[in-house]
Structure 1
Amino acid sequence: MTGGKYKRDMGTLGVAFLTINGLIGAGIFGLPEILHDAVGSFAPWLLLIGGALVMSIVICFAELTKLTDRSGGPQRFVADAFGRFPGFQIGWTFYSARMLSQAANVTVMIAYAAAIWPAIGDGWAYSAAIIVTLGAMTILNIVGLKRVVAVLGTMTFLKLAPLVILIIVGLAGAAAPGPVVLPQFSAIEGIALAALYAFVGFENATIPAGETRDPRRAMPRALTLSLALVTLIYFALQWAYSLSPIAGTGPDAPVVELARLFGGDTGAILIAATIVMSVLANMTAGHTSASRMTPALADDGLLPAWFGKVSRWGTPANSIAFFGVGAIAFALSGTFVVLAAISTLARLVAYIASIAALPRLRQAAGRPALNPTIMIAAPIGLVLSIWATMQTNQTHWLTLGGFAAVGTILYFIARRTPDDVQDVSA
């Protein structure tokens, strides 16, 4: 199976929208003061270095996307290189963590929205806002990826335009930059992981390859250009903030206060609305990508075929609905813990496994295992990812192990004999 049963409605621009919105969520809006407090005038350069280092991972993923046109992203790369069970575990742990993260993110988004519209902050209106938000994303994804791309395009403009305006105004009104003071290495080490977290999420765009037109060309280009654009936005925003008079004063919402400095209450409200839009767009991108993980597993016979059922719109409707209902249930239960670190750990493990798969997949495609670009990018990407996993704690690993254990049970329940599984390479 070539992955052709799904309608290929997404092009290069759609992949770029997924990448940009996977990267820019709520984190960057709280990061400027944290970075400035830790490393001072070096903060913008730390983000620039962080983007350059993460580019090494993105380059490896760009190379990987040239080797398949089937959905699954990291799950597909690892399964094709190392076998179905390792691929399943990467896909399942990523999917599980992403569902919990989606549930957590909707509560964050509503909390920001309640600052503008207090009525939805609690009670039945709060529950209704959760259901409407996640339900709308689910329906939008079911009726076609083309519609998702159109909505994401609008959201991307609505969240980037105010940021770009704020950056221009902030830089125009900023004090003259002084010399960049190199901080102590211990200060960089203490804050580097927080800076790195702002750059995770690009891998979301690689998952719906089976619904992308010419993914072997569209995805590499969109991944690298999108990360470069986001890095420049982060750098410029941090630069504008660090040169402002409020830098170092400890505001809880630094970007909102920067907008208030130059635009008064109107500017602050506009950026608060931008944050809501940013989180909403990030969730939409995450919903689109993560809900495509289970059909990729079903296509390989690793989950029941129900998850791979195609709607009349050419989308994996059952998987999309399952993801949406699960996220709603977790969000309404109020019993989940915000597992941002767990979600990031699952991503880092997927990065490591995917980079390790690259030489084997290139050989299987009749190419040299390594080329000069990969020989430079892969070691940097591996070291960076492994270092980041070492910054987590035992609880994070035990929780991720719990997800993997549940996945193992499901794998052996759903496993079929080779004769019962449709040939996935046909």
Structure 2
Amino acid sequence: MIARRLGLLDVLAIGVNAIVGSGVFSMPDDMQRKMGGFSPLAYLLCALVLIPVALCFAELSTRDDKNGGPYLYARRAFGAQVGFVVGWACYLNAFISFAANATQFVDFAGLGSSWLFRPVVVASVLGLGAIIYIGVRPGAFVVRLMTVGKLVAIFAFVGVAVMAFDPSRLGGALPHGTAGVANGVYLALFPLQGFEVVCVPAGETTKPKRNVPIATVGSLLFAALLYVVVQAVLVGSYPNLGAESGTPLVDAAKYLAPALGVIVLVGSIVSVGGFTAGSALGTPRYGQAMADAGELPQAMARTHPRFETPHVAIAVTTVLTACLGAIFTYKELVSFSNVCVVFQYAITCAAVPVLRKKDLGLRRMEEPAHGGFRVPFGPVLPIVGALGSVLLLYGCELQELYLAAGGIALGVVVRAITRRLEVGTKPAVP
């Protein structure tokens, strides 16, 4: 049995860190180029699409408080094959994002052009893996500490920038018309994704039927509001927003006050480091859940006898992430992240009405499953969430679709090999 050590603040911090990572520091200039003075609306529009998705995750998390999140939901609703594909997409997206942000963390630290860059990336990933390996509580403490640090830096920037805020810079013409709006909303998906991570360590959360839904929806709403405020303040206070700098928030802070620039730079390092710590905590649980079902090697389901953590899954995930961080760049690693996450969002939303129908043999449909949270308005919001997720792909490039398809195909091959090799040891669930 894995110990339940994560409280509400822990899982809320995991959600906030999973969302508020590198995007708030590196993407405002991209949003400005796509939507100009209307760029704050990109986050708002994307959040409106994702709220039904978060509500679906909240309901489903009350049905099953085991580790696994979207993988378990899809499996219960649509069977083992679909469940595995969703679980693999989640796992793939999680450790690629883990590697990407570890890479950017070292880049923010000033080692991007140094020969030490790749070794430090690998060392950072391995160090976080070691912290998580010896117990969830040390990892959760690191996540909460970094959450506070980065939010202090962001709020300090907002507090200074509002004094130079010019509201006339908001609005105006759309640089690329409706196509720019579609692209902007699609871009906003990357910095807003991550709330689903809260559901994955449900098996280690105290009072999961209460804490997981609150943290899932609460982390998304908090992050969306934060992004809208930061983007609006940037548009109104920094005339050079939209330049190809890659560090727009740091540049704006230096423009307003040199000391503020130092604070925001430190905050950016803490932010991306916090995201990386949260990824180290949540990512291995995908592999553990699929191993429990016999679809990945059974060793990944083992729990450490002393630390009570999924130590093999943590070790495998850490090594894979370190290898990716040693080989690929940040942009290469995140190029198809949105496609993977849209796929899991759409399937998760579709699972809600299916699982409700399966409950009919046990209790009335009007009652929440297992006494937990229920998405209101019947099947309407789950359908809206599924369709909205797919529509976000309107701004997707074909290359991203091809890469995502290749990654998922690799997972299918791994599953087939695992099931063949482990026949006779522990039967795989069909």
Cα-to-partner distance string for 1:51-89 (whole Å, 9 max, x where unaligned):
222112111111111111111111010011111221112
Question: Does residue 361 of the first structure (1) align with residue 355 of the second (2)?
Answer: yes
Aligned to 2:56: 60
Q: What SS does the aligned partner of 1:133 have?
A: helix
State which of 335, 339, 353 in structure 1 corresponds to 2:333.
339
Deviates further, 280-289 or 187-196: 187-196
Distance 1:38 1:69 in 2: 40
Distance 1:359 1:279 in 2: 36
Asked if structure 1 preserves the Cα contact closer than 8 Å seen for 2:349 and 2:383, the reply is no
Asked if structure 2 preserves the Cα contact closer than 8 Å seen for 1:36 and 1:247, the reply is no
Question: Does residue 379 of the first structure (1) align with residue 383 of the second (2)?
Answer: yes
Aligned to 1:163: 154
**Shift in Å at residue 255 of structure 1?**
0.9
Distance 1:55 1:132 in 2: 37
Question: Does residue 151 of the first structure (1) align with residue 151 of the second (2)?
Answer: no
**Shift in Å at residue 222 of structure 1?**
0.8
Aligned to 1:301: 294
Distance 2:207 2:406 in 1: 37
One-letter code of the match for 1:169? Answer: V
**Shift in Å at residue 333 of structure 1?**
3.5
Distance 2:94 2:170 in 1: 42
Aligned to 1:195: 188
Distance 2:4 2:256 in 1: 44
Change in 2 beyond 3 A, CA 1:158/1:304? same
State which of 407, 410, 413 in structure 2 corresponds to 1:406.
410
Aligned to 1:217: 210
One-letter code of the match for 2:324? Answer: F
Question: Does residue 323 of the first structure (1) align with residue 317 of the second (2)?
Answer: yes
Kindly tell me the number of residue pairs found equivalent between the two proteins: 414
Cα-to-partner distance string for 1:263-307 (whole Å, 9 max, x where unaligned):
22x221221121111111111112221111111011112222200
**Shift in Å at residue 245 of structure 1?**
4.3
**Shift in Å at residue 128 of structure 1?**
3.4
Question: Does residue 95 of the first structure (1) align with residue 91 of the second (2)?
Answer: yes
Percent identity between the aligned chains?
A: 24
How do residues 23-422 of structure 1 correspond to structure 2 at under 5 angstroms?
Answer: 23-114=19-110, 118=111, 121-123=113-115, 125-177=116-168, 180-181=171-172, 183=174, 184-248=177-241, 250=243, 252=245, 253-264=247-258, 266-311=259-304, 312-334=306-328, 338-365=332-359, 366=363, 368=365, 372-415=376-419, 420-421=426-427
Distance 1:332 1:198 in 2: 23
Change in 2 beyond 3 A, CA 1:84/1:137? same
**Shift in Å at residue 213 of structure 1?**
1.5
Distance 2:389 2:267 in 1: 30
**Shift in Å at residue 16 of structure 1?**
0.8
Q: What SS does the aligned partner of 1:72 have?
A: coil
Q: What SS does the aligned partner of 1:243 have?
A: helix
**Shift in Å at residue 220 of structure 1?**
0.6
Change in 2 beyond 3 A, CA 1:419/1:239? same
Distance 2:130 2:402 in 1: 34
**Shift in Å at residue 39 of structure 1?**
2.7
Distance 2:54 2:364 in 1: 20
Distance 2:330 2:50 in 1: 30
Distance 1:27 1:217 in 2: 29
Q: What SS does the aligned partner of 1:292 have?
A: helix
Asked if structure 1 preserves the Cα contact closer than 8 Å seen for 2:58 and 2:213, the reply is yes
Change in 2 beyond 3 A, CA 1:290/1:179? closer
Asked if structure 2 preserves the Cα contact closer than 8 Å seen for 1:6 and 1:210, the reply is yes
**Shift in Å at residue 36 of structure 1?**
2.9
Distance 2:30 2:248 in 1: 9
**Shift in Å at residue 17 of structure 1?**
0.9
TM-score in terms of structure 2 length: 0.88
Gaps of 5+ in 2: 367-373
Distance 2:134 2:364 in 1: 39
Asked if structure 2 preserves the Cα contact closer than 8 Å seen for 1:341 and 1:392, the reply is no
Distance 2:138 2:35 in 1: 43
**Shift in Å at residue 402 of structure 1?**
2.4
Superposition RMSD in Å = 2.6
**Shift in Å at residue 197 of structure 1?**
2.2
